[in-house]
Amino acid sequence: MTDKYTQFVSGGFGRDLARKLGLPQPVALRRYTPGDPLLEGPVVVLGPGSGAESIAAQLLGWGLDVRRNIGGSEKIAALVLALDELADPSALSAPVQAAGQLLRQLKASGRVVVVSRDPATANDPATAAARQAVDGFTRSLAKELRAGATANGVILREGVDAGASSAMGALRFFLSARSAFVDGQFLRVDDAQAVPDGGVRPLDGKVAVVTGAARGIGASIAATLSRDGAKLILVDVPAAGEQLAATANRVGGVALQVDITAEDAADRILELAGTRFGKLDIVVHNAGITRDKLLANMDPARWDSVIAVNVSSQLRMNEVFLASPLFAEGARIVSLASTSGIAGNRGQTNYGASKAAVIGMVRATAPRLAERGGAINAVAPGFIETEMTARIPFATREVARRLNSLQQGGKPQDVAEAIAFLVSESAGGVNGEVLRVCGQNLVGA
């Protein structure tokens, strides 16, 4: 779906008019294309202590133009702020002031990434306060940036060094164009092995199943995982069979027509995976439905069908997958949640409940995946330009597009890129997390 307003204000008369009237001025975001450089321009690493030195050394190893300071008005592609040794809120002033002096030099679609530690594991109130302050600082900074620039954070769990492979994998994602519509968000990382640079085909040799793959976000996920090297089993209901076959043909995948609420859905997926590939490495629970009504008008059929498709089917399938020898060691699961399951949405009590339930399921299942060297995470999209959002009334749609820090709707590709990262070895150490792909809502987180 074309965002004609963004096209109008991208140059000439439209840009001048928007500037004069104080209207939103969204810009075309830098999105990932295989072979593109990670960053185009210098990356400045700031922060006291050994963490900044360790991060700078790792970035130099990637062949980036790394600076510890920069003078004049030279434009920079990214700013990494290492606050992993912060122990008192008063110590935040100097590094953030130094960062603030560089913000005007940040290029369009530039990146700010803050590396800090988990306040939940702090041993004293001052340290906990300082670490939690980083959260409020980073989310607020994200709302100040313009021209498609974003600010996100990597939170180191106990015992994780700033230069650990798991930290660098998350840092690379936030620096890259894969995170175009991720803004004001954090990823916590454990001390696990990761491959920060997985190359242009990081999923080579992996077998993935994507549910709800016939169209929209599901089809984009399939295309992105295929691009990254995965072999695909694509699942959707029989009614979508023609579109499912077309998607499978485009990406070289295998189509499976099955209703995921069926008791034998997981068994059928595993049977196909075993027959064709001998294993299953990746599960993407994308299938979902909406049946919107105000609660006062909600009937049991609307409520029950949304719960059945959006969460109960995932719970049942996960149990079958985890019990199967075909589900490989190191397997990864990603479930589609929604910002409606985090902040709620009028007329979507059933949908919001189902997506919040997905988040609860992911967090509780994470230890079971960790035991086998794998992980489960959730991606929570915000306003994404799809056939479904195209049916929203014009005025409502325009407001929804602009009410985030990037002042535009995301694309299915943005959700797919986040999922492709989370199922890759670059996301080693990321487990039980919820990554919002929403451009950062203007009110709240």
Phi, psi of 38 (to 5 degrees): -60, -50
Cβ–Cβ < 8 Å for 239, 307: no
Show the tokens assigned to 389.
Answer: 């959002």
Q: Tell me the Cα Rg of the chain.
A: 22
Query: Hey, is 430 helix, strand or coil?
Result: coil
CA nearest neighbour of 181 among 385, 357, 16: 385
CA nearest neighbour of 359 among 340, 345, 373, 383: 340
Show Cβ contacts of residue 290 under 8 Å, excluding neighbours closer than 6 positions.
306, 348, 351, 388
DSSP 147: T
Instruction: Find the catalytic residue in 137, 186, 351, 421.
Output: 351
Catalytic status, residue 32: no
Instruction: List the 254-257 sheet strands across, edge first.
Output: 254-257, 231-236, 207-211, 280-285, 327-336, 375-381, 434-437
Show Cβ contacts of residue 284 under 8 Å, excluding neighbours closer than 6 positions.
208, 209, 210, 211, 221, 225, 333, 334, 336, 419, 423
Query: Hey, is 152 helix, strand or coil?
Result: strand
Phi, psi of 197 (to 5 degrees): -115, 95
Positions of E strands within 61-176: 66-67, 76-82, 106-117, 150-156
Positions marked catalytic: 351
